Structure 1
Amino acid sequence: MKLSNMKHLAVSLAMLGTCLAVQAQTADLSKLGSTLTPIGAEKAGNAAGTIPAWNGGLSKPPAGFDPAKGYLDPFAADKPVLTITAANMEQHKDKLAPGQMEMMKRYPTYKINVYPTQRTAAYRADVYKFAKEEAAGIKLAEGGNGILNLKKSNVPFPVPADGIQVIWNHLMRDLGGSITRHSADFPVQTNGSFTVGKRTETISYASFMAEPEPNRIFYYLNQTTAPANAAGEVALVHEPLNQVQEPRLAWQYNPGQRRVIRAPELAYDSPGIGADGLRTNDDFNGFNGAPDRYNWKLLGKREMYVAYNNYKLTSKALKYSDIIKPNHVNPDHLRYELHRVWVVEATLKPGARHIYSKRVFFIDEDSWSVLHADQYDARGGLWRVREVYGVQLYDAPAFGPAGEVIYDLQARRYLVNALTNEEKPVEFGKKYTNADFSTAALRRMGR
């Protein structure tokens, strides 16, 4: 065969492969709402019967729910079906992350109480509607560092083809249109002592706003209210949709200087606010921000024990001292279940800078939320273990954290974020304008 003919054949085969991939993607999208949930999870349960079918999730509050009194636990009567400790973890290692097993090896009091699986994840009707309407036309920007052709969808890739698409689903997922959360953070020392930090956060998704600026995922305000030496600090973020076109925009109000300054450092691996050096900015919420410093590989889907339906952890009857213990969070207040998760491995690109050389994320198929992450240092050693205590926020409805923790295995300390037990109720669905997230608004909040 002549060289020119071989080249034509190679091009033709490549085009055929692309066409077949597009056809397969289109066929899979047609399953949304039938064999797949409206945002892409498998509706059916597993063959063993240990994961049930998804039947719509938990989208309405149970009778008697009062936000001021905290979340009612629909599964309060459930008992653990299994407790995993260092003594029996080898029998269950196929459903555990390396970080979970390392925690058991290091701390004999660390355990995983496994409860019956309840597939509660559910979202607003608009989330389902736009996921199906827009998925076929949405594309990745150059290098995967942004999304093109998206208008209203919170799930751009309900049938993901690679790791970067799974991560974008996590980054875009809805939290009730908008959310205002009053929460507490705790850098915990090796002896279990801690100093409470408090914050009020507001997030408004551009898709939920009447006239958002172009190229926006969401707007974010963070006001620190405790401890006293940090109270009054405010951070503002405009998160772009296409981060090739426009990087994250961030500002801070410093009460000492009484001025608003640009804060490009509020990204990537710079130290997180109030974290005592225990997390990076892009650690928060499992992972956030631009994905451009990593290569993302989809390792597939697996069944795993993850923190799920953690209503007990939200109880207003609990004090923070009941939750925070030496070495780790009190496991008696946590609930784990068997769920299918997407596994995505991120490896640092050659020449890129970040304190984590590798990160492995375990992402819930029903909600697209990161529920666990193992993070490795420059030598390839397991360094930090991230757990997100997932809960279905049925008054939104949305799936979010009842709390988050990051264990630093080298420092033997840990950080807890987003606890709300002693705080005012979370608020969902308030309508905001661009002016609410302006630098002028930032100055007003600072004063």
Structure 2
Amino acid sequence: MKIRKAVVALAVLGLISNAAWPLTQDDVAKLGQDLTPAGAEKAGSKDGSIPAFGGESKPLSGWSYGKLREDYWKYKSEKPLFVIDASNVDKYADKLTPGQVQMLKQVKGYTMPVYPAHRECTLPNVVEENTKEGALKSAIAKDGWSLESATLPSVPFPIPQTGIQVMWNWLMRYQGVAAEWPDGYTVVSPRPGTSQSIVTRWNQLVYYPWAKKGQHTPEDDQGLQNGFYYLYTEPAALAGQGTMQRYYFSKDTDTYYYFTGQRRVRRLPAYAYDAPLIGYENQYPADISFVFYGNPDRFDWKLVGKKEVYVPYDGFAMQRFNTKLDAAMGPNFINADMRRYELHRVWEIEGTVKSGVRHSTPKKTLYVDEDSWLVAVGDDYDAQGKIWKAKENYITPEWEIGACSTSASVYNDLISGRYVFDETIVGTGKDLKFYPPGSSDPRLNNQYFTGENLSAISDR
């Protein structure tokens, strides 16, 4: 038993990368005891900078959907403990990612305000129960990347042993049965020396069939992992164009695109991975959404270990739908008053492109929050091994689903000097909407997310 504990300790410290051992009932019994039901360490850090697990975040009395969430958050009045900038970055470098360090040193005026940490990302009871019940059953297929078995909705691998297991915990993040952006923006900052941004406006719906009531497996619903619908509303050159995608547990994504000029839907099998999305001057590859999105099969994923990192957290400011978009954005980065960082424990995984496979980003490193299994930060490297992009998700409790989500994303390109502000509702006047299981919206079914339906709803 002492040997086993030593192996676990080494894995947590990052001294081994992909040690694999069969989980036992004793391991699973720790869920809800020393570990949270999702697999995080319940205890705080020895110095108190990371608190013990705090349980579910709940709004102050009076909140309902449509009201500004930040106004009902009990920690709204907190002030930064300190601010990290170019002058003191070396002092905090051991708790920063390489991309964060590069941003602070390279981008003039960039700062990271650090606030007290709160650990209030939880999961509904049914997800916790499925996690414990299915922990010994979850398995990666022989292909090394697809999810072969799991009891869903759940955290498939609450005590991960490999990088691909951590990846699937992220891909299986609980968001209710659907998440909707009734109105949203994606903005690409101007080229250096110019003043013209790229601004698109859109609405978006993501459907998770495995989060419906009851227990599900990756084989259910024809192996559908999620359905994705995206419709451009601005600018005029893109308005009316739309995408319908079907992501699967074990095969390539089906992508359908409606072109307004042709008034027809085309299948775009290559519109994935590092393919540039239409309308963004090659600044937005498909799999950069939410820091990492889509099939993970082009990379070998190594589990580096667990570490403490200052990450974007409690990002209620990113859901200020009543704030003007321009007020949130500076010429070179998102304004500091929109960004909040806290010290949290994260799992670090490293993806390197498989031999014989093409991808414009040879290496990606992701930092995954231990409590929510949401990717908090990601660093992309170029072919010379230099930091190319420093990416962030703003992790935020979403009270109606009893779990956390990402309220916006930012992708900073340290080579071009531009950044992408993505998945944001700032300035739209409308909040993100989450659908708990049992929601009656008629769109929440497999048939809605098809090429045939894209044609039908686009021709209206």
Length-normalised TM-score, structure 1: 0.90
Equivalent in 222, 225, 240 of residue 217 of structure 1: 225
Q: Distance in 1 between matches of 2:274 and 2:154?
A: 25
Q: Distance in 2 between matches of 1:357 and 1:377?
A: 6
1:207 aligned to 2:215? no
Q: Secondary structure at the match of 2:421?
A: strand
What residue in structure 2 maps to residue 427 of structure 1? 433
Task: Letter of the 1:425 partner, please give it.
Answer: D
Q: Is the 8 A contact 2:49 2:343 kept in 1?
A: yes
1:345 aligned to 2:350? yes
The alpha-carbon deviation at position 307 of structure 1 amounts to 0.5
The alpha-carbon deviation at position 27 of structure 1 amounts to 2.3
Q: Distance in 2 between matches of 1:340 and 1:107?
A: 26
Q: Is the 8 A contact 1:25 1:159 kept in 2?
A: no
Q: Is the 8 A contact 1:209 1:433 kept in 2?
A: no
1:154-169 alignment, distance < 5 Å: 154-169=154-169
Q: Secondary structure at the match of 1:143?
A: coil
Q: Is the 8 A contact 2:368 2:375 kept in 1?
A: yes
Q: Is the 8 A contact 1:307 1:337 kept in 2?
A: yes
The alpha-carbon deviation at position 239 of structure 1 amounts to 1.2
Equivalent in 187, 195, 200 of residue 197 of structure 1: 200
The alpha-carbon deviation at position 218 of structure 1 amounts to 1.4
Q: Distance in 1 between matches of 2:278 and 2:130?
A: 34
What residue in structure 1 maps to residue 14 of structure 2? none
Q: Distance in 2 between matches of 1:238 and 1:134?
A: 25
Task: Letter of the 1:57 partner, please give it.
Answer: E
Q: Secondary structure at the match of 1:290?
A: coil
What residue in structure 1 maps to residue 123 of structure 2? 123
Q: Distance in 2 between matches of 1:63 and 1:144?
A: 47
1:188 aligned to 2:189? yes
User: Radius of gyration: which is bigger?
Assistant: 1
Q: Distance in 1 between matches of 2:366 and 2:90?
A: 21
1:197-346 alignment, distance < 5 Å: 197-209=200-212, 213-242=221-250, 246-346=251-351
What residue in structure 2 maps to residue 55 of structure 1? 54
Q: Distance in 2 between matches of 1:340 and 1:288?
A: 22
Higher mean Cα deviation, 392-401 or 190-199? Answer: 190-199
What residue in structure 1 maps to residue 414 of structure 2? 409
Structure 2 runs not aligned, ≥5 long: 1-19
What residue in structure 2 maps to residue 99 of structure 1? 99
Q: Secondary structure at the match of 1:443?
A: helix
The alpha-carbon deviation at position 273 of structure 1 amounts to 4.2
Equivalent in 443, 447, 452 of residue 440 of structure 1: 452
Q: Distance in 1 between matches of 2:195 and 2:410?
A: 14
Q: Is the 8 A contact 2:83 2:114 kept in 1?
A: yes
1:46 aligned to 2:52? no
Q: Distance in 2 between matches of 1:230 and 1:445?
A: 16
The alpha-carbon deviation at position 151 of structure 1 amounts to 4.2
Q: Secondary structure at the match of 1:385?
A: strand
Q: Kindly provide the CA deviation profile for residues 381-400 of structure 1, in whole angstroms up to 9, marking residues without a partner as x.
A: 21111111221112223312
Q: Is the 8 A contact 1:302 1:342 kept in 2?
A: yes
Length-normalised TM-score, structure 2: 0.88
Q: Secondary structure at the match of 1:90?
A: helix
What residue in structure 2 maps to residue 4 of structure 1? none
Q: % of aligned pairs identical? A: 34
Higher mean Cα deviation, 65-74 or 373-382? Answer: 65-74
Q: Is the 8 A contact 2:291 2:411 kept in 1?
A: no
Q: 1:43 to 1:275 in 2, by over 3 A?
A: farther
Coordinate RMSD, CA, aligned: 1.8
Q: Distance in 2 between matches of 1:198 and 1:124?
A: 32
Q: Is the 8 A contact 1:275 1:415 kept in 2?
A: no
Q: Secondary structure at the match of 2:66?
A: helix
The alpha-carbon deviation at position 150 of structure 1 amounts to 2.3
Task: Letter of the 2:335 partner, please give it.
Answer: N
Q: Distance in 2 between matches of 1:192 and 1:337?
A: 32
